[in-house]
Structure 1
Amino acid sequence: MTNFSRFTTNHKVRPDDIDMFNHVHNSKYLDYVLAARYEQMDTHYGMSMEKFLELGYGWVVQKVEIAFKRPLGLGDHYSVTTGLVDINNRGCKVSFEIKNLKNNKLSADGWFDFVMIDLKTGRGVEVSDEMIAKYSI
């Protein structure tokens, strides 16, 4: 079993993230993870989303599971820590944790299953050995 690196990105809850119950809307947590992965692909793996797009590929969510623990509120600073659980020629699984930085308590955790697609056809394609190597750090 491979142990993959985990990376953390910090952000702050914005006013447009808040729902009618005065905390972050559940859909925003998924946005937080996707934004963190986007940044981490560029800064830590050396193969950004733009590079995949240049090659004619994209990553799409096949499955996602999220467990909500504690709500985030307006102005809260939070961290998103992500890391690969597995990567192979069919796609990858990424786990995540979102923590409120004021108390370091878990707000949500879970995982995403991603598949790589050909942007022209919209069909799944194999992840190359070179891509797997770049992300297997």
Structure 2
Amino acid sequence: VALESAASVFTVESVPESVGPGESGTIGLAFEPPRLESFEALLRIRSDDAASPLVEVSVTGRGFTVGRIEVPAALEFPDVCEGTGELRRLKVRSTGTADLVLERIGFAEGSAPEFGFLTSTRTPVTVPAGKELLIT
């Protein structure tokens, strides 16, 4: 079994050692595209079949882009005197290969009511790939 491809996005993961008469076997292939693009390869299977010693199978796949979010694990405030306030900014980073769409921004149920937002949390909001959004 051999895989012929201009890009190394397809790999042969498993091949049966032998396939008996009247049986079938499974060849495991993996596809890991690095970007939004169509890819193709040719899978060549050589066997001891006298009628078809070489079989070729066209393999195709299309990669797509992914939105990924990166935020700090915690946002900590210092001790604050009562009646005053302290600001912190949350940096939301789009680290994927596609724009990140934030569908909801808000505090979880049961969060202390003393926390609030100064900037708009209107959604949906799109953060372009490689960019960031600051929320105060």
TM range (shorter): under 0.3
Query: TM-score by structure 1 length?
Result: 0.27
Give the number of the structure with larger relative contact order, counting CA–CA contacts within 8 Å between residues 6 or more apart. 1
Query: TM-score by structure 2 length?
Result: 0.27
- Structure ID, larger Rg: 2
